[in-house]
Chains A and B, each alone.
Chain A
Amino acid sequence: MAKQMLIDAIRGKRTPRAPWVPYAGVHCAFVIGEPADKFLKDPQLLAKGVVETARKYKADGIPLVFDLSVESESMGLEIKYWKDNVPSVQSHPLSDKTVEEAGLKVPGPNDGRWPVLFEAARIAKPQLDELDCALMGLACGPLTLASHLAGVRIFTDVVKNKEKAHHVLKFCAQVVKKSVEMYCDMDCDIIAIVDPVASQIRNETFKEFVHPYCQDAIAVIHERGKTSSFFICGDATKVLESVCQIGTHGFAIDEQLNLTFVRDLARKYGVGFGGNLKLTLAMSLGIISPREDAIVSLAAGGTHGYVFAPG
C-alpha cells in the first residue's frame, strides 16, 4: 500500500504505478458482516469496517464514510437508514423557508453523527497509517447539500429565482467549509468535496452556483496542507472543463465518462483524475468482465495523475 503515491497521483504527478482506492462506503459494513445502518452509527464498527476493507483490498486510500447525509442529519433533517445502502434525506426544510426561518445553523463536531466520525477516525487512522493507506474525508458538496435542504426546487431556483438559490448556496458553502475543517481535525490525508448532482446542471449554472461556493472549503484544505479532490457523478461531460478549473488538486468521476477524454482534459489542466471502473456494469452486474474493464482503464489512465478506482 502506498499513501504518498496516491497523494502524488491526485496532485497530477507521475507515479510508479496507478494507486488504487476502493470507494467502499457501506460495503465496509458488508465486509465485517454488519448492516449498514448499525455500522454507520457505531464508531468501533465503522473503524473496524474501514480498516478491514483497506487491508482486504490492499487499498492505497479509503474514505472514512461515503455518506452525503452526514451534514444534513447534523442540522436536524429527517434521515432514512437502510440495512444495505447509504442513508437518504427525507425532509427539505428550505423548500418553503429561508435559512433563518428554518433556524438552520452550521453544524459542529458535537452535532449529529460527527462525534461518531471523530471517534472512528481516531481509532482507524493509526491502523491505516500502519498499512500505509491514506484516510479520506468526503464532505457533501454545496449543490448536493442545497438539494437536500431545499429539495428538487433548487434546480428551478438556480435558473428562475437566482437570489433565493444564492442565499441557500451561501449557507451551504459555510457548512462545506466547516465539514472540511472537521475532516482536517480528524487528520484525514485527502479531503474531497463530493457533489454528485453538479453533473445534472448546465455549465453556466455550475460556474455560478458550484464553483464559487467550493472556494472557501478548498482554501481550508490547502492551508492545512492536505490534498484536495472534487468528486462528481453521472454524465459530467458538459461541466468537466469547469471541474478541472475548480481549484482542487484532482477530481474523480463515475463510470459514465470516457476515460481517455477525462485523462486528456485533466492533463491539460495539470490535475489528477480517477474513478471510472464500471461499478455497475462490471462489478455489480457482471455484464462486462471486471478484469478486462480494469485492464482497459489502467491502459487509458496510465501513470500520470491517475487513480485506479471505481466510478
Chain B
Amino acid sequence: MSERKIKIDVLTLDSVQCAACGYMMESIAAMPPDVQEMIEYKEWSIKNQAGIQKFLELNGRVLPTICIEGDLVFESVIPQYEELIDELAKRAPTPEMRERILSLRDKGFDFDRIKENLEKAGAGLHTRRDSAVE
C-alpha cells in the first residue's frame, strides 16, 4: 500500500495572469524530487466554480494562499524553502515522513522539473469560467 501524501491546495486568481499566484505555485513545483514524492497539490483558480467552492470550503481569506492539509498556511506571502519544509513536516501523516522531510531542509529548490510539476498540478489550465477541475 502506498504511503499517504501531504495534500496541498493553492488558491489563486490564475497562476498565468497573476505573477504572485504563479510564484506561489512555483514554490511548490520547485520542491526537490524527494519532497515531490511525499506531496500532492493542485491549483484552484477562483475563476471557475470548482475553485470558488474550494475557496469557500477552506475558508480562504486572500489570494493567493497555500493550504496544507486544509490549513491556510501562507496567505499572501510567498514562502521561503525552509518555511515550506517546516510547515510540511508539521503536517506529515507519520513521524517517519516528518523526519524524512526535515532531513531535506538543506536541499533547496530544484528548477529542473518545474514545467512538468506545474502541468501535473493543473497550473494555468483551469482559468476559464466554464473550466472543469478533475
Residues of A within 8 A of B (CB): 68, 82, 84-86, 88, 90, 92, 95-96, 144, 147-148, 151-153, 155-156, 159-160, 196-197, 199-202, 233-235, 256, 280, 284-285, 287
Contact = CB atoms under 8 A, between A and B. Distances in A.
Contacts of A147: 19, 23
B18 A196 contact: yes
B76 to A, nearest CB: 4
A156 B115 CA distance: 20
A131 B78 CA distance: 41
Interface of B is mostly: loop
Given A82-B16, A85-B16, A144-B19, A235 B76 contact: yes
A156 B80 contact: yes
A200 B14 contact: no
Interface residues of B, number: 37
B80 A200 contact: no
Given A155-B80, A233-B18, 9 more contacts: A85-B124, A88-B124, A151-B114, A152-B26, A155-B78, A201-B78, A234-B20, A256-B76, A285-B46
20 contacts: A86-B16, A86-B17, A88-B15, A95-B109, A147-B19, A151-B109, A152-B78, A155-B78, A159-B80, A196-B19, A196-B20, A200-B20, A201-B77, A201-B78, A233-B19, A233-B20, A235-B62, A280-B13, A285-B52, A287-B52
B78 A197 contact: yes
B10 interface: no
